Amino acid sequence: MTLACGVDVGGTKILGGVVDEDGTVVEELRVVSPATDVEAIERAIADVVTELGTRHEIGCVGVGAAGYIDKARSTVMFAPNIAWRDVNLKADLEAEVGLPVVIENDANAAAWGEFRFGAGAAVDDLLLITVGTGVGGGLVLDGELYRGAFGVGAEIGHMRVVPDGIVCGCGNHGCYEMYASGTALVREVRGAAGAGRPEAAGVLERAGGDPAAITGPLVTAAAQAGDPFAVQSLAELGRWLGEGIASLTAVLDPAMVVIGGGVSEAGDLLLGPTRAAFADQLTGRGHRPQLEISRATLGNRAGLIGAADLARR
């Protein structure tokens, strides 16, 4: 059985794994990501692959990187949280590890992983939305990963949903991820707690009285414990998410939308309002098949599993 190495590279960690043809992770290795140093991060990726290769016969390497990857799946044109600017990562890594390397956007790789081995294994058309610090997207159409004319398609977090809205890290105003991300959730809850709104008192108490200590997992835990304000805050996030999915469905018509990322840990506290908002805003509702909105099943391994499978293919 052919083994491939998948590597998921983010701004804070590098997660590598040896993956078999069934999508099973045989061994996993995690290291800190030296995101501000181009040479150091490439060396760290190569070291992960090399170490795993001492214990497994690896045939190829797939790297999921958080950034814009060119059509040839070789050059990272831009990465918002890593110091890559027009870096031929494929060539650099192949020289280091002596194996064929494929570079892919991390959300694309995760979408492929969920399509092949996870929540979307029974469909041919899938949209993955990752809800974490930002909002990422990956798209599979007719059984093939959609990458766009220049390799940077499905960047759904940066479609504008509010003209002249909140300034996004990309420099534009009103991007989807400024309203439908974990960052948006924390911003709104911290704002309410900092303003002394009584409904936020329970969440503030969990944070030791410090609004700056409020995090996404803390809000989720409060909601799971029944805190009404935390429940409502996740519901508002779900509303934004569902309305965006309705708009995307009008264009893409997927069979399934899979929600991943850290905020998806909230489960139905997020997905229930998401489904309701989607059903309320879908064009032609009641006269068309309704897609399924499901939680991702591969967790934080989706990117490395997908990247490994893409490299093998």
Give tens-digit pLDDT for 253-263.
999 999 999 89
Q: Is residue 118 part of a domain?
A: no
Residues 177 and 262 in one domain: yes
Dihedral of CA atoms 158, 162, 167, 170 in degrees, nearest 10, equals 10
pLDDT for 277 equals 97
Residues 142 and 31 in one domain: no
Residues 107 and 132 in one domain: no
Residues 306 and 222 in one domain: no
Report the CATH number at residue 97.
3.30.420.40
Residue 47: exposure state from Cβ atoms within 10 A (0-12, 13-18, ≥19): middle
Q: Is residue 217 part of a domain?
A: yes
pLDDT for 171 equals 86
Residues 169 and 292 in one domain: yes
DSSP string, 153-214: ---GGGSBSSTT-SBPTTS-BSBGGGTSSHHHHHHHHHHHHHTT-GGGHHHHHHTTT-GGG-
Residues 106 and 238 in one domain: no
Q: Is residue 40 part of a domain?
A: yes
Residues 174 and 234 in one domain: yes
pLDDT for 193 equals 97
Residues 88 and 150 in one domain: no
Domain extent, residue 157, equals 123-296
Give tens-digit pLDDT for 28-69.
999 998 888 889 999 999 999 999 999 999 999 999 998 899
Q: Average pLDDT for residues 254-277, to the nearest whole number?
A: 96
Q: CA 308 to CA 305: how far, in whole Å? A: 5
Give tens-digit pLDDT for 181-226.
999 999 999 999 999 999 999 999 999 999 999 999 999 999 999 9
Total structural domains within the chain? 2
Q: Is residue 145 part of a domain?
A: yes
